[in-house]
Amino acid sequence: MNTLHTADYFVFFGYFVVVFLYGYYIYYKKRSKSISAREFFLAEGSLTWWAIGASLIASNISAEHFIGMSGSGFAIGLAISTYEWMAAATLIIVAVFFIPLYLKNKIYTMPQFLAERYNDKVSTVMAIFWLLVYVFVNLTSIIYLGAIAINSISNLSFELCIFGLCVFAIVVTLGGMKVIGYTDVIQVAVLVVGGLLTSYLALTLLSEKFGFGSNAWKGLVLLKENAESHFHMILDKDHTYYKDLPGLSVLIGGMWINNLNYFACNQYITQRALGADLKTARQGLLFAAFLKLMIPLIAVLPGIAMYVLHQQGMFQAEMVDELGVLKPDHAYPTLMNLLPAGLKGVAFAALTAAVVASLAGKANSISTIFSLDLYQKYFDKSADEKKLVLVGRWTVIISIAIAGLVAPALKTLDQAYQFIQEYVGFISPGVLAIFLMGFFWKRTTAAAAMTGALLTIPVSAILKFLPAWTNGWFPDYPFLDRMSITFVLIIIIMIIMSLIKPETKPRKLMEVDVKLFRVNPGFIFGSLIIIGILIALYTVFW
């Protein structure tokens, strides 16, 4: 039944009160007499490594993972886990090569890097790109999926769910990055516990269905035996979903472009580490990498279990929409509805925690970019710290409100997770190209960077829609391969432009010293453990 009982409401409101009181405590205990812009946006120097790692994961993991990734687990299988497991390897690279460069050069926002390395035009164009994507793709999809999930496990209306999520996220975000960072520790703990409970339920259901009683371990064995096709990380070309996860491209192609852009050039990810010292930032990213390894256990595994149960004749009505169309994204909410009173409240709180934490992190990044890179630069150059914080808070409210109004338009989606990845991927190749070229090739010009920024969406769009326009004459590449092609094309164009017309007055370049890339033995040890686990996973589930 899609209703919450008294015990569920008690658990949920207990979670809400704990988060609110802890956030209030952090805000008043650690605040300055007059909060500065850098303190509000970056929690300057006050986040510990475990708060940085937890906050990064809390901002990253949201309804698109619980609902969207579980739906992709139902439709595709374990292969969708490559987004999480390859992200663990990516975070190590970011910690070694990118974060030290940002911290050494005192970079606090991604547009700031572009302004200092290239010029204000490149910075402004990309700032606008990021704001549009963050509001109309990221915030909107998170609110939509979160509302769908909460609506499906409660008797609350879809519209009320949207309103409640928006208000909760605004309350958390207005305290600034410091409050977000420390409350995210609670959010991560809640979403992990709630996620593991739901995974446990899925496995015991499977065990009971096959007559083995409530045995979660036996359920895991049955899962592998009855969904063998769903336990391959590398898909063959004849696989139905090869276009979503094109074979080896997830290891050596577009997945790296997707992940490096997301974790190295993305304000709401890097922002957690930009206010810390290098050692703390690296430890936080390594902790986040370890957490990434376990996400498929709580997000993908339930979807595969629901696939097996559906194949056995269960949940036939629950897995289709009003038109009778199978909807993989219904898998997780259907499973949550089976939890007993009290535990359902924990899962409800976990889902809400994931949504709110992610919304808060993204909204804070939106307000950071708008306030520091647009408002202060173009609207009020003399704005003091107090005014910038006020503008940042109003930006939070307005951006979440806009996303909440747009969210219902996403009701036509099938697998929302794949939609998010594909359309965010329209700008990823260009962004990564101008960052990598900016850091590691001193001859890269501002004109070349601007061209790369402006070309990424048109080239991506042409590669996506040209096959339909030419009736199949042009190859229909999987979107990860399209990202690789776009990235290579933009790099080539930027190199040619920089060589043909070099800068007449080169700007001051970023300070790049190989000594910055040295890491301590503890970091090396932790990284080797992660890489070893990844090699084992891909070997077993190839």
Q: Which of 327, 69, 346 is nearest to 201 (CA)?
A: 346
What would the pLDDT profile of 126-163 be if each residue is shown by its tens digit?
Answer: 888 888 888 888 888 888 878 877 777 777 788 888 88
Distance CA(420)–CA(145), nearest Å, equals: 11
Average pLDDT of the residues of the chain: 81
Query: Does one domain contain both 256 and 312?
Result: yes
Query: Does one domain contain both 369 and 251?
Result: yes
Query: Does one domain contain both 380 and 451?
Result: no
For residue 74, is it within any domain?
yes
Q: Compute the average pLDDT of residues 193-211.
A: 83
High-pLDDT (> 90) share of the chain, %: 12
Does pLDDT of 400 surpass 80?
yes
For residue 520, is it within any domain?
no
Query: Does one domain contain both 62 and 204?
Result: yes
Q: What is the per-residue pLDDT for 498?
A: 93
For residue 138, is it within any domain?
yes
Does pLDDT of 196 surpass 70?
yes
Answer with the residue of higher pLDDT: 88 or 332: 88
Query: Does one domain contain both 352 and 463?
Result: no
Q: Which of 345, 245, 275, 303 is nearest to 12 (CA)?
A: 345
Q: For residue 182, give every residue at least 6 positions away whose Cβ sits within 8 Å of its Cβ, in sequence order, or none.
A: 22, 23, 26, 47, 51
Domain that holds residue 495: 425-503
Query: Does one domain contain both 259 and 387?
Result: yes
Does pLDDT of 479 surpass 70?
yes
Q: What is the per-residue pLDDT for 175?
A: 66
Query: Does one domain contain both 234 and 317?
Result: yes
Answer with the residue of higher pLDDT: 493 or 62: 493
Q: What is the per-residue pLDDT for 526?
A: 92
For residue 100, is it within any domain?
yes
Distance CA(23)–CA(20), nearest Å, equals: 5
How many domains is the chain partitioned into structurally? Answer: 2
Rg (CA), the chain: 23
Q: Compute the average pLDDT of residues 407-418.
A: 66
Q: What is the per-residue pLDDT for 433?
A: 93
Query: Does one domain contain both 439 and 396?
Result: no
Query: Does one domain contain both 326 and 469?
Result: no
Query: Does one domain contain both 99 and 237?
Result: yes
Does pLDDT of 252 surpass 60?
yes
Query: Does one domain contain both 392 and 353?
Result: yes
Q: How many CA atoms are closer than 13 Å to the CA of 377, on its beta-carbon side?
A: 16
For residue 531, is it within any domain?
no
For residue 524, is it within any domain?
no
For residue 534, is it within any domain?
no
Answer with the residue of higher pLDDT: 234 or 148: 234
Instruction: Name the token pair of 411.
Output: 């009701």
- Work out the pLDDT band at 542, boundaries 50, 70, 90: confident
Answer with the residue of higher pLDDT: 489 or 242: 489
For residue 46, is it within any domain?
yes
Query: Does one domain contain both 235 and 164?
Result: yes
CATH of the domain at 252: 1.20.1730.10
